[in-house]
Amino acid sequence: MTILVTGAAGFIGMAVAERLLAQGRAVFGIDNMNDYYPVSLKRARIAALQERHGGLFTFAELDFADMDALQAALHDHPIDAIIHLGAQAGVRYSLINPHAYVRSNLAGHVNMLEVARERRVRHMVYASSSSVYGGNDSLPFRVEDRADHPVSLYAATKKADELMSETYAHLFRIPMTGLRFFTVYGPGAAPTWRCGYSPRKSFAANRSPSSTMAGCSATSPISTISSAA
């Protein structure tokens, strides 16, 4: 089984790829290596995966919002499942560079849904965000809570991702799981995401062909991943 991991050079993506590779699963990682935070950190993560796992790990530096480049890179590689973690992150940055979010989080997400459809993958897990709760003041957050009042463009793109994924799951019967990450932290995190507190873990899952999980951050980002059949 080969699993496609987007955002493989990111903090969560690298940790997920590491866990999968340690289990003996082949991973095809992609990342556009943008400079939202130091690229040197991203390259160090990829180099570590390549050094530790050799031929089990394949990496392509590309922008998954470019469908032609994405299809060309995947042409000779069978893909059984997708873990789509790549995105343009950050609430505040969306105020000054909205087009980056439209390209990566909307057009790029549709491209990944199309890959899932064309390849008939067994499962697609994708990163949403706790930001979708927006103006919701009901605590603790639950999957069942309304998430139709985003207060940032970033949140709006992530909510759109959930809706598009639900549609693809319904139309093409692709099992999908959305993860509403809070602030995920730990050793090796990017400087922009480091924090000094330990939030409680809280999970709520809706079991259906397409499901969304709400989960607080944890020192091990792998613990937030679930699957829906």
Task: Give the residue-averaged pLDDT of 206-220.
Answer: 44
Max mean pLDDT range (105-119, 145-159, 171-185): 105-119
Where residue 6 sits, what CATH number does that domain have?
A: 3.40.50.720
Q: Is residue 229 part of a domain?
A: no
Q: Is residue 13 part of a domain?
A: yes
Decide if pLDDT at 100 tops 60.
yes
Q: Provide the token pair at 46.
A: 């990829």
Specify the pLDDT at position 117: 97
Contact (Cβ atoms closer than 8 angstroms) between residue 73 and residue 58? no
Specify the pLDDT at position 127: 93
Q: Is residue 152 part of a domain?
A: yes
The model's pTM: 0.82
Residues 6+ apart with CB under 8 A from 83: 3, 4, 5, 6, 13, 16, 124, 125, 126, 225
Q: Is residue 162 part of a domain?
A: yes
What is the three-state SS of 47-58?
HHHHHHHHHHEE
Q: Is residue 81 part of a domain?
A: yes
Decide if pLDDT at 226 tops 80.
no
Where in 86-219 does DSSP place strands (E)?
123-129, 176-181, 203-205, 210-215
Contact (Cβ atoms closer than 8 angstroms) between residue 171 and residue 127? no
Contact (Cβ atoms closer than 8 angstroms) between residue 151 and residue 134? yes
- What sign does the dihedral 61-64-67-72 (CA atoms) show? positive
- Domain containing 45: what range? 2-224
Catalytic residue among 101, 126, 154, 185: 154
Q: How many domains does the chain have?
A: 1
Round to whole Å and give the CA distance between 164 and 149.
17
Annotation says 37 is catalytic: no
Q: Is residue 197 part of a domain?
A: yes
